[in-house]
Amino acid sequence: MNIKLAVVKGDGIGPEIITEAEKVLDKIGEKFGHSFEYTDILAGGCAIDETGKPLPEESVKIAKESDSVLLGAVGGPKWDTLPGNLRPERALLGLRSELGLFANIRPAKLHDALADACPLKPEISKDGLDLVIVRELTGGLYFGDRGRRHSGNDGEEAYDELKYSEKEIERIGRVAFNLAMKRDRKKVTSVDKANVIETSRLWREVMHKLAKEYPAVEFEDMLVDNCAMQLVRNPAQFDVIVTENMFGDILSDEASMTTGSIGMLPSSSLGVGTFGMYEPIHGSAPDIAGQNKANPIATILSCAMMLRDSFGLMNEAKAVESAVTKVLNDGYRTADIMDEGGKLLGTKEMGDKIVENL
Ligand code: NAD
Ligand code: IPM
Ligand code: MN
């Protein structure tokens, strides 16, 4: 296969982790007879510096002409005081909505070798942890009307609108139920705040209707505050969690720690076709940027998701995942997953080790 990728290196650790991911893809290409063609597109802080805009039209155009997008991370303190619509993060939201990527899949799986890096007690993780968060990605608070206005004598007032349509809820629900059908445990937990907010009450109604179409799937609702607690108390109870945009953002960072580090969690963002955007769930990590310290595994595992979900390359995806597992089993660690007896590697050396095992 000849695969054309639009690549957002982005800011902070973005370029460092993308370099390692491209090395892994190139090795896969060499081994399995594919070629990967990368076109760098500007998005985020670096795009602001070069063009004055977080997401130049040219970048969206190139992304649309590509087979998929690979993204590092965007944002950083340098751009934190810009107005909302000119911030680097706008680029991410723009790509997600322009490309119609409403379903964000974030698998959190604890590798056996990282049991000691996981901050939970061994008895909580002893039977393994393997859950997936299905996050709605193009609706909710992230895309509602927002702004500021003056209100009486109380000074300025800010507002962010939260809305969801039945159609938006149903299509993300289907992604979650279909995914659950392919997994051993076939369980969906729909997470909301239906005891307080109206969008969650509609969310719950739609999910219940859908659940009836999937009798093979065990279904439950859970309030989001309880879910945040249960993820630490007993994460093994979860299989597929489906939730709205903002809750999914927060719960997925929390869930990432069950795997040892946020540097381990990959993601895919999908729409109706095979086109996807693949990125780690973490950010640009300004505190460790440029120091060869970042864990590239989340980005490398995102490439495995891309090979499988967008291109149907099952063996290639498996090869990447097995190489990562092997390197972890051999005791190699980046700083964020370091444990007793671990052999510390930098970003580049971790990338090299994974390539060596392909
Ligand atoms: P962050 O995820 O960048 O970092 C949080 C903590 O996790 C930091 O201590 C960081 O060093 C660590 N960390 C993150 N990724 C790591 C990795 N691969 N290896 C080792 N350690 C890692 O979150 P933040 O500090 O809240 O945000 C920083 C910037 O990133 C902000 O501008 C934010 O908007 C942006 N951000 C971007 C994305 C994205 O591009 N997809 C996602 C989240 C945050
Ligand atoms: C993520 C990030 C983004 C989000 C930000 C940077 C816009 O935190 O991908 O999880 O909130 O979706
Ligand atoms: Mn996030």
Query: What CATH number does residue 219 fall under?
Result: 3.40.718.10
Label residue 59 by pLDDT band (50, 70, 90): very high
Average pLDDT, integer, range 15-35: 98
Q: Ligand 2: residues within 6 Å at CB?
A: 75, 89, 92, 249, 281, 283
Among the candidates 225, 259, 293, a domain finishes at 259
Ligand nearest to the CA of 280: 1
Structure tokens at 221: 């609702």
> Given ligand 2 and candidates 249, 250, 256, 269, which is best to mutate, with the most ligand atoms within 8 Å of its CB?
249
Q: Check whether 239 has a pLDDT greater than 90.
A: yes
Among the candidates 234, 259, 284, a domain finishes at 259
Structural domain count of the chain: 2
Same domain, 129 and 102: no
Q: Give the residue ranges of the annotated binding site for NAD(+).
A: 76-89, 283-295
Q: In this predicted structure, what is the pLDDT of residue 151?
A: 80
Same domain, 277 and 254: no
Measured in Å, residue 284 CA sits from the centre of ligand 1 at 5
Residue nearest to atom 11 of ligand 2 (CA): 249
Q: Which domain holds residue 165?
A: 118-133+141-259
Same domain, 287 and 253: no
Same domain, 289 and 252: no
Among the candidates 214, 244, 259, a domain finishes at 259
Question: Is there a contact between 197 and 225 (Cβ–Cβ < 8 Å)?
Answer: no
Same domain, 86 and 185: no
Same domain, 45 and 105: yes
pLDDT digits (tens, 9 = 90+) for 203-238: 999 999 999 999 999 999 999 999 999 999 999 999
Same domain, 60 and 126: no
> Given ligand 1 and candidates 86, 254, 282, which is best to mutate, with the most ligand atoms within 8 Å of its CB?
282
pLDDT digits (tens, 9 = 90+) for 161-215: 999 999 999 999 999 999 999 999 999 999 999 999 999 999 999 999 999 999 9
pLDDT digits (tens, 9 = 90+) for 103-144: 999 999 999 999 999 999 999 998 899 999 999 999 999 999
Q: In this predicted structure, what is the pLDDT of residue 332?
A: 98
Give alpha helix (H) positions in the chain: 14-32, 45-51, 57-65, 89-98, 122-125, 166-181, 198-213, 224-233, 245-256, 297-309, 314-329, 347-356
Going by C-alpha positions, the residue among 203, 236, 235 that lies closest to residue 221 is 203
Same domain, 330 and 231: no
Same domain, 105 and 155: no
Same domain, 123 and 254: yes
Same domain, 252 and 294: no
Q: Which residues are catalytic?
A: 142, 193, 225, 249, 253
Tell me the C-alpha distance between 356 and 358, whole Å.
6
The CB of 266 under 6 Å from ligand 1? The reply is no
Burial class (CB in 10 A: 0-12, 13-18, 19+), 201: middle
Q: How far is CA 25 from CA 77, 194, 355, in A?
A: 31, 43, 9
Residue nearest to atom 7 of ligand 2 (CA): 89
Which residues make Cβ contacts (< 8 Å) with residue 91, sequence separation at least 6? 8, 43, 44, 47, 54, 55, 59, 74
Same domain, 253 and 122: yes
For the question of an ipTM over 0.85, the answer is yes
pTM equals 0.98
pLDDT digits (tens, 9 = 90+) for 303-340: 999 999 999 999 999 999 999 999 999 999 999 999 99
Instruction: Identify residue 181 by its one-letter amino acid code.
Output: M
The helices-and-strands tally (H runs, E runs) of the chain is 12, 14
Question: Is there a contact between 194 and 204 (Cβ–Cβ < 8 Å)?
Answer: yes
